[in-house]
């Protein structure tokens, strides 16, 4: 079993879901009829999303509409989770967050996650620096991950989105993927996209970082900034430089150069995240991904992890009512946090570390079982709110000790 550094992430809970599926959405069956339930489990809430609560109303007009439509009382199974995610048809309001070239995403985990995400019919993002480190073809390559997804994806559902860093651009990754006959089926079916990575939650303002040995450093010389780190070498990639006009032109360039591909933009949890999202949507992006400060990372400075970037809840507050498809990630692993994100304005939520832990626990079906548990929770919670599709959720369904209104000052860039 791979050693994945989860930190405060609820690793054992994710592994339990990967083992038992929907049963993990409930207390232990051994407690049924013999235990008092309801006390919080674990430490105090870690952030504002954890502290927020879903608040069903007493009167539910949408439930009445559903009752009339069905000619019976509606149940949680009547909640339709199918969602358009960044231009793709998805069976659930979920997507597989970007995995890059980190060692945790080796042959087994990367390919297993891709295959299961494909079978689930949810979009998958392939992270940056895969080609410069692992190659375009081969066992751990970019094409291997895309093929594993495409081979298992049902017709008409899901999609593959490929990130490109500055080093990837030198390798012309997007050009190769767009023109490759091996990806033609995805392109022809409208299930191929590219994501411009402006930043990442775990290390906003910094580019990709990883640690390599001396031999690898010699091979990578000239491609990355390298510097000693104990008995290893720190490999640093450029984060790129952006202004409003540069972002606007980059999105337009992507649309012009790859007219048949979807265009996504990934933003870090910066203080001007709302303004940046609006620039991307207005330029024509099909989706904006916001990676909260809780987002996972293969490697990052402890100072960044401890105190840099806005929490996901604050990003959602600042963006307010999105004018386009908003995708968010950051410590999402179960249905409750996902529904809170959807109620706060997100179209779908990403699975990052949770997906890695799930396929590490069970490479054949861990992610499938994790999503099985989440899907049940999503239906139960959305139904409890008297609604029957994720798009019907809104901030009226949320209560927070600090309130969920968007401060006027937060809408000003900077």
Q: What is the pLDDT of residues 245-273, one digit of tens each?
A: 999 999 999 999 999 999 999 999 999 99
Closest of 160, 169, 347, 349 to residue 261, by C-alpha: 160
The pLDDT of 278-290, averaged and rounded, is: 98
Compute the C-alpha angle 311/121/114, nearest 5°.
75
Domain that holds residue 257: 48-404
Q: Determine the pLDDT at residue 282.
A: 97
Averaged pLDDT for residues 270-280: 97
Residue 280 belongs to some domain of the structure: yes
* Phi and psi, residue 27, nearest 5°: -60, 165
Q: Report the candidate in 247, 252, 164, 177 with the shortest Cα–Cα distance to residue 208.
A: 164
With respect to residue 33, please indicate whether it lies within any of the assigned structural domains. Answer: no
Residue 9: inside a domain: no
- Checking if the pLDDT of 102 tops 60, the result is no
- pLDDT surpasses 70 at 378: yes
pLDDT of 399 over the 80 cut: yes
Q: How far is Cα 329 from Cα 287, in angstroms, rounded to an integer? A: 13
Q: Is residue 314 included in any domain, yes or no?
A: yes
What integer is the mean pLDDT of 29-58? 70
Supply the pLDDT for residue 54. 97
Q: Distances from the Cα of 357 to the Cαs of 92, 230, 336, 368, in angstroms? A: 20, 28, 19, 12
pLDDT band at 188 (very low <50, low <70, confident <90, very high): very high
CATH number at residue 102: 3.20.20.70
Residue pointed to by tokens 């990578």: 220
Question: How many Å apart are CA 77 and CA 385, to the nearest integer?
Answer: 14
More confident: 403 or 413: 403
DSSP letter assigned to residue 320: -
Mean local confidence (pLDDT), 208-229: 78
Query: What digits encode the pLDDT tens for the residues 55-86?
Result: 999 999 999 999 999 999 999 999 999 999 99
Average pLDDT over residues 33-50: 61
Tokens of 83: 């969602």
Helix axes 244-257, 273-283, angle to 10 degrees: 30
CB 360 within 8 A of CB 57: no
Structural domain includes residue 325: yes
Q: Name which residue leads in pLDDT, 289 or 30.
A: 289
What was the pLDDT predicted at 202? 77
| pLDDT reported for residue 392 | 98
Give the residue, 229 or 52, on which the prediction is more confident: 52
- Torsion angles phi and psi, residue 57, rounded to 5: -85, 170
Residue 254 lies in a domain: yes
In a domain, 21, yes or no: no
For 388, the 3-state DSSP assignment is coil
Cα–Cα distance measured from residue 171 to residue 251, given in angstroms and rounded to the nearest whole number: 19
pLDDT of residue 39: 47
> Residue 71 corresponds to which tokens in the numbers above?
């000619």
Q: What is the pTM of this model?
A: 0.88
Q: What is the mean pLDDT of residues 349-374?
A: 94
- 300 or 157: whose pLDDT is higher? 157
Res. 7: pLDDT tops 60: no
Instruction: Say if residue 347's pLDDT is above 90.
Output: yes
Report whether pLDDT(52) > 90: yes
For residue range 106-119, what is the model confidence (pLDDT) as tens digits?
Answer: 446 889 999 999 99
- Does any domain span residue 215? yes
Phi/psi at 385 (5° precision): -85, 0
pLDDT, tens digit (0-9, with 9 covering 90-100), for 297-333: 767 777 787 888 999 999 999 999 999 999 999 999 9
In percent, the amount of the chain with pLDDT more than 90 equals: 61
Using the predicted structure, report yes or no on whether residue 397 has a pLDDT greater than 90: yes
Q: Which of 224-233, 343-352, 368-377 has the weakest average pLDDT?
A: 224-233
Tell me how far apart the alpha carbons of residues 46 and 143 are, in angstroms, rounded to a whole number.
38
Separation of alpha carbons 293 and 33, rounded Å:
40
Average pLDDT of the chain?
Answer: 87
What's the number of domains the chain is made of?
1
């Amino acid at each position: 079993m791979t050693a994945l550094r989860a930190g405060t992430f609820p690793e054992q809970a994710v592994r339990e879901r990967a083992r038992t599926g929907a049963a993990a959405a409930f207390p232990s069956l051994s407690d049924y009829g013999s235990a008092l339930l309801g006390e919080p489990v674990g430490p105090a809430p870690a952030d504002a999303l954890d502290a927020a609560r879903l608040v069903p109303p007493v009167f539910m007009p949408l439930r009445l509409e559903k009752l009339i439509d069905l000619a019976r009382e509606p149940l949680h199974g009547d909640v339709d989770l199918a969602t358009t995610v960044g231009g793709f048809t998805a069976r659930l309001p979920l997507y597989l967050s970007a995995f890059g070239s980190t060692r945790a995403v080796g042959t087994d985990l990367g390919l297993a996650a891709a295959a299961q995400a494909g079978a689930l019919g949810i979009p998958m993002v392939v992270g940056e620096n895969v080609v410069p480190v692992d190659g375009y073809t081969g066992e751990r390559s970019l094409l291997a991950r895309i093929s594993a997804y495409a081979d298992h994806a049902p017709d008409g559902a899901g999609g593959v989105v490929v990130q490109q860093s500055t080093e990837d651009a030198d390798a012309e990754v997007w050009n190769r993927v767009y023109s490759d006959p091996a990806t033609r089926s995805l392109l022809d079916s409208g299930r191929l996209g590219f994501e411009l990575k402006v930043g990442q939650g775990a290390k906003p303002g910094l580019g990709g970082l990883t640690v390599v040995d001396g031999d690898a450093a010699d091979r990578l010389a000239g491609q990355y900034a390298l510097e000693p780190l104990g008995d290893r070498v720190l490999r640093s990639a450029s984060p790129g430089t952006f202004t409003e006009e540069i972002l606007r032109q980059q999105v337009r360039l992507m649309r012009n150069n790859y007219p048949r591909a979807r265009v996504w933009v990934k933003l870090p949890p910066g203080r001007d995240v709302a303004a940046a999202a609006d620039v991307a949507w207005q330029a024509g992006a099909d989706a904006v991904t916001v990676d909260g400060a809780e987002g996972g990372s293969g490697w990052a400075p402890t100072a960044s992890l401890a105190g840099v970037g806005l929490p996901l809840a604050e990003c959602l507050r600042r963006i307010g009512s999105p004018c386009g498809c908003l995708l968010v990630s950051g410590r999402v692993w179960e249905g409750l946090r996902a529904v809170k994100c959807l109620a706060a304005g997100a179209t779908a939520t990403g699975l990052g570390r949770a997906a890695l832990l799930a396929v590490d626990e069970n490479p054949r079906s861990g992610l499938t079982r994790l999503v099985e548990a989440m899907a049940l929770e999503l239906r139960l919670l959305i139904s409890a709110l008297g609604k029957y599709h994720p798009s019907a959720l809104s901030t009226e369904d949320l209560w927070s000790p600090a309130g969920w209104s968007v401060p006027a000052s937060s809408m000003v860039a900077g």
